């Protein structure tokens, strides 16, 4: 599993030179911080998957933004270091800024050419009654949603 993390970091560094974006540096820092947090917690071993960082064009400028998904992290000494009943951390990097969300699951959907970030969130964001709850976010000089 260490090989997967190393390969991911190498891929991130390589992608930084290809895309030339500041975002890759931020994404790499998020993953490295998570790895450090895991190691600091009772000497844990950190692992990640190939789906940890994905690319999506939210702004429509043909330069993809990145999503760092903490649900793809694992630490041998902690079951819930990056999330809990409210969801797991999700960082979306746009124009050098980090937008942080909690989500149980997420997906990017295309609605008439507009990328929409769909988050399955804790039911308390919708009502006091347990049940499914979703947030839809679109980019327009910042993420916009209806609550």
Residue 118, pLDDT score: 97
- Give yes or no for a contact between 38 and 75, defined as CB atoms under 8 angstroms apart: yes
User: pLDDT (tens digit, 9 = 90+) per residue, 20-66?
Assistant: 444 447 999 999 999 999 999 999 999 999 999 999 999 999 999 99
Could you tell me the CA-to-CA distances from 18 to 14, 40, 94, 140 in Å, in that order? Answer: 7, 33, 17, 26
User: pLDDT (tens digit, 9 = 90+) per residue, 110-143?
Assistant: 999 999 999 999 988 888 888 899 999 999 989 9
What's the pTM?
0.78
Give, for 110, the enclosing helix (H) or strand (E). strand 105-111
Q: What span, in angstroms and rounded, lies between the C-alpha atoms of 141 and 38?
A: 34
């Amino acid at each position: 599993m260490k090989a997967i993390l190393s390969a991911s970091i190498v891929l991130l560094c390589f992608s930084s030179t290809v895309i030339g974006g500041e975002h890759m540096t931020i994404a790499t820092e998020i993953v490295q911080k998570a790895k450090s947090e895991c190691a600091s917690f009772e000497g844990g071993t950190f692992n990640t998957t190939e789906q940890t960082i994905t690319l999506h064009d939210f702004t429509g400028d043909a330069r993809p933004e990145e999503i760092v998904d903490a649900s793809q992290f694992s630490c041998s000494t902690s079951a819930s270091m990056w999330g809990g009943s409210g969801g797991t951390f999700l960082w979306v990097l746009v124009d050098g800024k980090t937008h942080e969300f909690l989500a149980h699951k997420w997906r990017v959907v295309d609605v008439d050419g507009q990328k929409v970030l769909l988050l399955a969130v804790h039911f308390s964001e919708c009502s006091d009654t347990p049940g499914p709850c979703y947030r839809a976010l679109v980019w327009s000089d910042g993420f916009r949603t209806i609550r």
